[in-house]
Amino acid sequence: MNTTRIISPSLLSADFSKLQYECEMINRSEAEWLHIDVMDGVFVPNISFGFPVLKAVKKHCAKVIDVHLMIVEPEKYIERFAKAGADVITVHLETLKNPFDTLRAIRDLGVKVGVTINPDIPVSSLCGLVGQVDMVLLMSVFAGYGGQKFIEDTWARIEELKAIVADENPDCLIQVDGGVNTENAPKLFDAGVNVLVAGSAVFNSSDPMETIHRMLHNTI
Ligand code: DX5
Ligand code: ZN
């Protein structure tokens, strides 16, 4: 089992009028990654930001840039996201016409590749694909908005995914995104999750760096 533990704060909940300040805070924090949520208003009922914002973030953020694409036809845009500074690109299985081709195309761009599913997609649909990726993201809310409540069924889905990962690709990272906070983060790491995305819990807290520290080190 992969014992990596990483916090990937989601920029979606940051103060966009102070992007440089927020990036510099993440640089000083124990977060190793920064999560970038790209929404197109088609795959999800919300629109966030795209290449110009990613480029600006890349200029100021020294951490691994973890891009979560909630867009239809992601294969059309992966090259531009890689060029704009993505280090990891994660795509929704629901949006892929040819999963193997798109996952391979992302890998061929020299970035890490992730695949994700919404909470209503069976974990078993990832069987046979886990060997093709560096990371599987289990959504613990329906993609589209920050600040939603963690769906408890995720615990069982993590167990199911762990069995597939052990079987097909033990090095594969498991990421969870949505409703993560200081209370459930240590339990999620203990359950075998490697990368936790946290938006509102980090950026809406009075001390984001301390919140990141607590998520990692289980201190109340
Ligand atoms: C939701 C996004 C998440 C979101 C998480 O569609 O994928 O990354 O920003 O926000 P919180 O941590 O507030 O649930
Ligand atoms: Zn996300």
Please name the residue ranges forming H helices in the chain: 19-28, 51-60, 78-84, 99-108, 154-168, 185-190, 200-203, 208-217
Q: Where are the domains of the chain?
A: 6-217
pLDDT tens for 165-197 read: 999 999 999 999 999 999 999 999 999 999 999
Q: Is 40 in the pocket of ligand 1 (CB under 6 A)?
A: no
pLDDT, one tens digit per residue, over 87-119 is: 999 999 999 999 999 999 999 999 999 999 999
Nearest CA to ligand 1 atom 9: 146
SS3 23: helix
Instruction: Indicate whether residue 186 lines ligand 1 (CB < 6 A).
Output: no
In this predicted structure, the answer to whether residue 156 has a pLDDT above a threshold of 70 is yes
Among the bound ligands, name the one nearest to the CA of residue 90: 2
Q: How far is the CA of 1 from the centre of ligand 2 (A)?
A: 24
* Any ligand 1 atom below 6 A from CB of 178: yes
Of 78, 146, 132, 134, nearest in space to 103 by CA: 132
Average confidence (pLDDT) over 116-132: 98
Catalytic residues: 37, 177
Report the predicted TM-score, pTM, of the whole model to 2 decimal places: 0.98
Cβ(6)–Cβ(189) below 8 Å = no
What atom in ligand 1 is closest to the CA of residue 68? 7
Residue nearest to ligand 1 atom 4, measured at CA: 146
* Residue pair 42/69 in contact by the 8 Å Cβ criterion: no
Ion ligand 2, residues whose Cβ is below 5 A away: 37, 68, 177
Of 165, 169, 213, 159, the closest CA to residue 191 belongs to: 159
Domain spanning 6-217: which CATH class is it, in words? alpha beta
Q: Does the CB atom of residue 177 touch ligand 1 within 6 A?
A: yes
